[in-house]
Amino acid sequence: MSQFLTIVLAAGEGTRMKSSRPKVLHAVGGLPIVGHVLKAAKGAGADRVAIVTGPGHDAVRKAMAALVPDVEFYEQTERRGTAHAASMAEPAFRDADGYVAIVYGDHPLLRAENFDAIGARLQAGADAAILGFEPADPTGYGRFITDGDKLLAIREHKDASEEERRIGLCNACILTFRAEIFRELIGRVGSENAQGEFYATDLVELANAAGYTVGYAIAPEDDVMGVNDRVQLAHAEAIFQNRRREEMMRAGVTLIDPQSVYFSFDTELAPDVAVEPNVVFGPGVKVETGAAIHAFSHIEGAHIASGATVGPFARLRPGADLAAGAKVGNFVEIKKASIGEGAKVSHLTYIGDAEIGARANIGAGTITCNYDGYNKARTIVGEGAFIGSNSALVAPVEIGAGAYVASGSVITEPVADAALGIGRSRQINKPGYGKILNERFKAQKEKN
């Protein structure tokens, strides 16, 4: 469709979720449910998106404005049905050109292809087109009343006759009309039905009565799955993950145990990336070709360059940036830090708010002390520097290129290029004192 306005209905509270959070903000693949709907609409070329929210849904507005900056918001203060909700966006469709699509905001598996299927019917000459599907169990869904490739009406389950309830083709989640027809008909929708609500689905019968042609397209059941409770949310997540796993493998990514790897909606893995079992990718991850992600690692908001290795049991937090050939090993946490080309942070280490130079080596047990309880400060480690095990680098501090830090040091002052920094107390040995301590402690234990 060359031009179309998408009106997303997202005013429901989702009481069956049993949550203080609006239903459409629950996430699938790290993205709010309604975000998937917006993503599908924009992917199909929607040039305008309007969201109808409920009262007090400021969190929905904030989240979606961050995702689609030019989105328009409207509010349905009374819940009087889907047509009533769509009519709240009247300022948006008042001067709309092309097409107007109504889409339900609780369908996280919706794809751009589903909008495209509707668009094909409109391009073929239909004045309106509705997306349908054939569920395994049609109970509760509106039934399609058809005549060949024409859709005559949609009968809601509670208003359908027994004969109509035997129909297996049901309403899914997208209703699209030529903009001028939508403007003409939306005000004619009545509420003479079992629910006493204004149904958007009644637009189909109104369009036919006015002499317009209504077509339909059929989507796979998984694509148009709605989410109303936590069980359905988990089911949608499982379908989403299986789709992403297959996409990754077909694109050249090795997943040793696909079912144990979890992706976000925006995870980017290049061909020849290898992922071991039990890895979780949070939002904002990009991994370049040839990198290896070892088992039980958690990665979020990170960039991993070609040939870098992560894990096992590593955590990369937002802002982690690994250059080519860098190594982050087991029980290492990286946060808002760059790890230079060929640098090694092999084990038992925390690196936060830091810059680690190329080919530097960070010994086991090293930490950057980046937070004083109020502010964050940076640590800089130069190229080829060697940080001995069990060292604490108290930021702000800089370790020069080729410098050494002695094991067990607390470094609070800069260490110059090629210098050795030692920040520890001198060792004192007392001959025979071990025996004295043993006897003392043994006597104390017997006394107690």
- DSSP helix/strand/coil, 24: helix
The predicted pLDDT at position 193 comes to 85
The predicted pLDDT at position 52 comes to 96
Q: Model confidence at 448, in pLDDT bands (50, 70, 90)?
A: confident
Q: Report CA-CA distances (Å) from 330 to 104, 122, 254, 344, 350.
A: 44, 56, 21, 11, 11
- For the ranges 109-118, 187-196, 243-252, the lowest mean pLDDT is seen at 187-196
Mean pLDDT for the stretch of residues 333-356: 98
DSSP letter for 270, please. Answer: -
- Contact by Cβ (8 Å): 216, 129: yes
Q: Is the pLDDT of residue 2 over 80?
A: no
What the block records as the tokens of 95 is 């001067």
The predicted pLDDT at position 343 comes to 98
DSSP letter for 327, please. Answer: E
The predicted pLDDT at position 292 comes to 98
According to CATH, where is 2.160.10.10 located in the chain? 244-421
- For the ranges 308-322, 347-361, 427-441, the lowest mean pLDDT is seen at 427-441
Q: Model confidence at 78, in pLDDT bands (50, 70, 90)?
A: confident
- Distance (Å, rounded) from C-alpha 150 to C-alpha 217? 10
Arch. (CATH architecture) of 4-224: Alpha-Beta Complex (3.90)
What the block records as the tokens of 293 is 């992600």
Mean pLDDT for the stretch of residues 229-247: 97
Q: Is the pLDDT of residue 1 over 60?
A: no
- Contact by Cβ (8 Å): 191, 80: yes
Residue 69 makes CB contacts below 8 A (sequence gap 6+) with none
- Contact by Cβ (8 Å): 217, 121: yes
**Residue where the block lists tokens 């668009």:** 119
DSSP string spanning 47-85? Answer: SEEEEEE-TT-HHHHHHHHHHSTT-EEEE-SS---HHHH
- Longest CA span, the chain: 106
Half-sphere exposure of 235 (CA within 13 A, CB side): 13
Q: What is the mean pLDDT of the chain?
A: 95
The predicted pLDDT at position 298 comes to 98
Point out the catalytic residue in the list 26, 36, 57, 347. Answer: 347
Q: Model confidence at 8, in pLDDT bands (50, 70, 90)?
A: very high
Q: For residue 124, count CB atoms less than 10 angstroms from its CB and return exposed for 0-12, middle for 13-18, buried for 19 or more.
A: exposed
What the block records as the tokens of 205 is 């019968």
Identify the residue with better confidence: 47 or 327. 327
ω into residue 283 within 30 of 0, thus cis? no
Which of 167, 174, 125, 172 shows the shortest CA–CA distance to 150?
125
- Strand bridging mode 31-32 / 404-405: unpaired
**Residue range 106-159, pLDDT digits in tens:** 999 999 999 999 999 999 999 999 999 999 999 999 999 999 999 999 998 989
Residue 347 is a catalytic residue: yes
Q: Model confidence at 425, in pLDDT bands (50, 70, 90)?
A: confident
**Residue range 366-410, pLDDT digits in tens:** 999 999 999 999 999 999 999 999 999 999 999 999 999 999 999
Give pTM, 2 decimals: 0.91
Q: Model confidence at 415, in pLDDT bands (50, 70, 90)?
A: very high
DSSP string spanning 7-23? Answer: EEEE----GGG--SS-G
- Distance (Å, rounded) from C-alpha 46 to C-alpha 397? 50
- Contact by Cβ (8 Å): 174, 103: yes
The predicted pLDDT at position 15 comes to 87
Q: What topology does CATH give the domain 244-421? A: UDP N-Acetylglucosamine Acyltransferase; domain 1 (2.160.10)
What the block records as the tokens of 105 is 């905001």
- DSSP helix/strand/coil, 192: coil
Q: Classify each residue of 154-182 as buried b or exposed e, where b means 16 or more C-beta atoms within 10 Å of its C-beta.
A: bbbbebbeeebeebebbbbbbbbbbbebb
The predicted pLDDT at position 151 comes to 96
According to CATH, where is 3.90.550.10 located in the chain? 4-224
**Residue range 298-332, pLDDT digits in tens:** 999 999 999 999 999 999 999 999 999 999 999 99
Q: Is the pLDDT of residue 92 over 60?
A: yes
- Contact by Cβ (8 Å): 182, 107: no
What the block records as the tokens of 305 is 């360059």
Q: Model confidence at 361, in pLDDT bands (50, 70, 90)?
A: very high
- Contact by Cβ (8 Å): 222, 240: no
